[in-house]
Structure 1
Amino acid sequence: RIAKILGVSNSMISKYENNTASPSLDSLCTLSKELCVSIDELCGLQQSGTVSLIGLTDGQADCVRLLIDAFHEYNNTVRKRLSDEQYRVLGQILAEFLK
């Protein structure tokens, strides 16, 4: 299936897997989009999870970014209650889902 997506032969995929050939940048981009992972993660440079914004509207992608920032802020400050900014972010997320 990957060979078909990339427009290459199965033997070429085998070469990629055995490190005897490397895919082009276009192939890496196509594959990362298909698998919903970053190119860094695909190449083993980044092991932590990533969030794919592919297929989201601009508003939805903004909400995801805001939510991640809010969690980072919370984790850095270890607050027992949500800040005004976090409430604002949650309100924006709720509004986006109610559209």
Structure 2
Amino acid sequence: MTKKIAVFTRDRQAEALRMSGGLTLLDDKVEVYVLDKKLEDNKVIAKHLDMVQNMLELPVFTNCRDNPFEYLTNEELANKMLEFDVVIPY
């Protein structure tokens, strides 16, 4: 049975992006949420973000307008959390 998994990241961004890609190996539906601050600009994060967005085409959301992802308010984020079978915080 396919599960809906949300990966929320604030501080361990590279690890969260890497793990998000790995979670797709079981054919689960995965979404990524970057919370409260801008995604760091470095080579490791860029590599994992490329995998998540371009190779795996996972949706990425944020509550920080400094990020280039779809913006959601905190209330919208809270409502979306109810849709998932598993929420993984990083």
Shorter-chain TM band: under 0.3
Greater relative contact order (Cα 8 A, min sep 6): structure 1 or 2?
2
Whose strand fraction is larger, Structure 1's or Structure 2's? 2
Whose helix fraction is larger, Structure 1's or Structure 2's? 1
When normalised by structure 1's length, the TM-score is: 0.24
Task: Report which of the two structures shows the higher radius of gyration computed on alpha carbons.
Answer: 1
When normalised by structure 2's length, the TM-score is: 0.26
